[in-house]
Amino acid sequence: MSAARRGLLLVAWIAVVAALGWLVDRTLVVGTDLRLFLPSPRTPQERLVLEEIGEGPASRMLLLTIGGSDPEAAAETSRGLVTELRSSPEFRWAANGESNLDAIPERLLAYRYLLSPTLDGTRFDEAFLRAEFAERLRDLASPAAAFLEPWLPRDPTLELLKLAESWQPGQQPQTQFDVWFDTSGRQALLVAETRAPGFDPQGQRAAIDALQAAFLRVRTEPGLALEASGPGAFSVLMKDRTQQEAQRLGGLATLGMIMLLLVAYRSLRVLVLGLLPLVTAGLAGLAAVSAAFGTVHGITLAFGFTLIGVAQDYPMHLFSHQHRGLDPRDNARALWPTLATGVASTCVAYLAFLFSGVRGLAQLSVFTVTGLAVAGLTTRYLLPWLVPSHGTDVAASGRLARLWGRIAGLPRPTWLGALVALLCVGVLALSPRPLWQDELGGLTPVPRALIERDSTLRRELGAPDVRYLLVIQHRDAQGVLERAAAIDPQLQALVSDGTLVGFDHAARYLPTVEQQLRRRAALPAPPALEAALAAALGATPFRSGAFAPFLADVERARQLPPLEPGDLAGTPLEARVGGLLLERDGHWTGLVTLTGLRDAAALERIAAASEGVALLDLKQASEDLVAHQRERILWCLAGAAVLLVLVVGVALRDTGRVRRVLAPMALTTLLVLASLHVGGVSMNLFHLIALVLAAGLGLDYALFFERAADDPAEQRRTLHAVLVCSLSTLMVFALLALSSLPVLRAIGVTVSVGVVSNFVLALLLTRPPRGGVS
């Protein structure tokens, strides 16, 4: 091929890559919802668990503190911030302890008589009203007079105040300057619920940004600082950290890789050519995911590029085997059966994730399979046209020859392999510690100090427990409210005896229709109420006509249809009730959130005694889900392993060869599992993905060593190629292993150990036992 045509091909290739890049850039939507990596729910119960974890009120709740300066300034800022957040589209509601009667809309005011429990035990008769008016007289002579007086004509029994107080959380922090403060009295406390679910770091990021901007607008003193805690704040923090660290390590790794390639091939051109298949693979993978799923998850992106890093090895094999006198196209053709076997079997392994039932993993699978296939095919069919045919023959290197000689001389006790395998299986089977980590939180662990601060704030604010919930199921909303109202006294008893600090459910805000009707029926008709009022006021200094608005409101309440969940839209109660009473597919679910629970068994008893009520342990339930997810992935992987053996078997057609190629990979997988376990690491999903990656690498190494079995020059070229491949991979993953972030560390350690073990074992185990020719 002439230089001009080569140049044309190169330009065309780069143009295709650029076009792919443009396409991907235009169509790719990067999602950040972490639930994409959680198992898909199979039952309504599991769906509830996942929704509660990712979307429930507890997951959206941000606990805020304002402090660092004068408490009064903090209180002033807290008031300003709540006002800002209430009008912010990022937040559903915000509270700081201020009770604001004016916040109740006019059209709901008359409902106070149907919502307040006053009428359950009493009637608006002369005796009741007389006692109430006597109290109001005392109120008027008290310093609170100016506050209460404007409400008295329409609400002399103070139902609104009773309602506002009953809607406050069971246990409240202390108030100072009318807003919540922590026990030290220095930091104002607030709660805000974001509109974005807790598992959506992007939405949470927007909420946190809006929060900070609002804070800066209303801050009354420059010394004040705002802190946010809660699942959403943590997911933002962890995402930022992971991204920063991944970028830093990624940059270092790229630099190291370039140096290594320059040292190994001493050619800038080879360096650039070596990157082309990888870049093409990445972009093709992205385009495929984008076409298949619409969006691609940020983790898929980060992981995917780590996984298809293997594709960097493909051109290496071509380069290392290239020498003067060999047409690069012949070179590629000769390497192809081995390379294709490696690519195909790795793709088969990743294909397993497509059937894992986890959307994020399915994306990852499409991405890697497409990427690896494209990298393999471009290395075979495009790259050889561009590779210079005169490259130095690495087989001529004296150092490499001596190294090979020494390796060949090493004893290869196959019984040791069997022993190691047995030992590993023994360690794994006999250890009392669980092999796997089932905690969802284990995937994105938050620093201990932040967790502790969060639980302190949670306690002070009386915010609901994130672990236990009572779940009430019924086919209609009224049934749910009825059951919630029915267990209310038992929960109240638990609060009284200290088992529970507080609880919350929808019926606290919205009584059942039946109860509202009962209360409505208890309201006296105008003549009776007027008579009772006149008699009660008779001997008091109150003006007789002063309470006409009260009569009017009672009469209005007597005509009201009971308040139902749908009527709450646009009121402050909408968000509160909406988080506790959910409708799905014509079925209603009520949640009872719990605060400061000491004894879950007591709730278990309540749940057992009430029909349609269950205690949900989100931690246990999510762990079950994770365990189930893992089981399914393991089955998929087992299936993939069988397929992989078949692929290798078809390619090599010799059981001895198949055994020698597969032995290093299998032994390495066992070795990595055992050493991680002995090292005290509990495995999670990320370890599993990393194990598959390591196995894929091992298979490649073994295939190439096995191929070069009897030709000394080929052996040295293969040694060179595999050395470059494994060193570059080891460098990248050893850097990740140094990361402070558990996710990156998990992958880094697993692959690093895997690469070393695979390299050594492939060298020792893949050649026929009668020994290499030296």
Partner 1 sequence: MLVTMPSLATELDTGALLDSLVRPAPDKTLFVEVRHSALLSEPIFVTGELEHRTDGALVRRVESPYRETTELHDENVRVEREGSKPRRFSLDRAPELRGMLASFGALLTGDREALERNFAVTVQGDTEHWRLELSPRDDRLKRRLASIVVDGQQDRPRCLTLSEPDGDASVMALGVGDRAELPESLERASLQAWCSGESGP
Does 176 engage in binding with partner 1 (CB under 8 A)? yes
Q: Which of 152, 270, 284, 581 binds partner 1 (CB under 8 A)?
A: 152
Residue 168 contacts partner 1 per CB under 8 A: no
Task: Map residue 600 onto helix, strand or coil.
Answer: helix
Report which of 753, 755, 766 is spatially closest to residue 414, judged by C-alpha positions.
Answer: 766
**473 and 588 in contact (C-beta within 8 Å)?**
yes
Stretch that binds partner 1, among 142-150, 340-348, 464-472, 715-723 (CB under 8 A): 142-150
Residue 381 Cα to chain centre, angstroms: 41
Q: From its phi and psi, is residue 38 left (phi > 0), alpha (psi between -120 and 50) or beta?
A: beta
Q: Quick one: which of 543, 585, 586, 601 contacts partner 1 (CB under 8 A)?
A: 543
Choose, by CB under 8 A, the member of 27, 69, 175, 456 that binds partner 1.
Answer: 175
Indicate which single residue of 149, 330, 599, 611 sits in contact with partner 1 (rule: CB under 8 A).
149
Q: 97 or 315: whose CB is closer to partner 1?
A: 97
Query: If you search the block for the tokens 């185990």, which residue do you land on?
Result: 765
Q: CA-CA distance, 566 to 545, in Å (whole number)?
A: 37
Residues 679-718 that bind partner 1 (CB under 8 A): none
Q: Does 166 bind partner 1 (CB under 8 A)?
A: no
* Residue 141 interacting with partner 1 (CB under 8 A): yes
Does 98 participate in binding partner 1 (rule CB under 8 A)? yes
Which of 146-154, 250-258, 569-577, 621-629 is the region at the interface with partner 1 (rule: CB under 8 A)?
A: 146-154
Residue (135 or 240) nearer to partner 1, CB: 135
Distance CA 567, CA 320 (A): 74
Two tokens, residue 444: 């994105």
φ, ψ for residue 665, nearest 5 deg: -65, -45
569 part of the interface to partner 1, by CB under 8 A: no
Q: How far is the CB of 544 from partner 1 (least distance, A)?
A: 8
Q: Is residue 102 involved in binding partner 1 (CB under 8 A)?
A: no
Note whether 452 binds partner 1 by CB under 8 A: no
- Is residue 128 involved in binding partner 1 (CB under 8 A)? no
- Stretch touching partner 1 by CB under 8 A, among 248-256, 301-309, 538-546, 675-683: 538-546
> Is residue 302 a contact partner of residue 246, using CB atoms and an 8 Å limit?
yes
| Cα–Cα nearest to 532, from 122, 22, 148 | 122
For residue 541, state whether it binds partner 1 (rule: CB under 8 A).
Answer: yes
Q: ∠73-79-83 over CA atoms, to 5°?
A: 145
Using the rule CB under 8 A, which residue among 542, 701, 705, 759 binds partner 1? 542
Pull the structure tokens for residue 357.
């039932």
Give the nearest distance from C-beta 117 to partner 1 in angstroms: 17
- Site for partner 1, residues 50 to 89, rule: CB under 8 A: none
**Residue 150 or 223: which CB sits closer to partner 1?**
150
From CA 719, how far away is CA 763, in angstroms rounded?
Answer: 9
Strands 29-31, 295-297: parallel, antiparallel or unpaired by DSSP?
parallel
Q: Sign of torsion, CA 264 266 268 273? A: negative
Is 147 one of the binding residues for partner 1 (CB under 8 A)?
yes
The stretch near partner 1 (CB under 8 A) out of 130-138, 366-374, 490-498, 623-631 is: 130-138
Of positions 25, 120, 178, 330, contacts partner 1 by CB under 8 A:
178
Query: How many CA atoms within 13 Å lie on the side-chain side of 587?
Result: 10
CA dist 617 and 619 (Å) reads 5
Q: Is 184 in the site for partner 1 (CB under 8 A)?
A: no
Q: Which of 2, 4, 26, 143 binds partner 1 (CB under 8 A)?
A: 143
Shortest CB 175 distance to partner 1, Å: 5
Reading the block at residue 92, the tokens are: 């559903």
Pick from 151, 177, 336, 385: which binds partner 1 (CB under 8 A)?
177
Per the DSSP assignment, residues forming a β-bridge with 189 are 65
Helix (H, G, I), strand (E, B) or coil at 586: coil
Residue with tokens 């497509």: 354
Nearer to partner 1 by Cβ, of 174 and 244: the residue is 174
Name which position in 109, 140, 435, 760 contacts partner 1 (CB under 8 A).
140
- Using CA atoms, how far residue 140 sits from 118, 136, 152, in Å, is 22, 6, 10
Binding site for partner 1 (CB under 8 A): 98-99, 135, 137-138, 140-147, 149, 152-153, 175-178, 541-543, 546
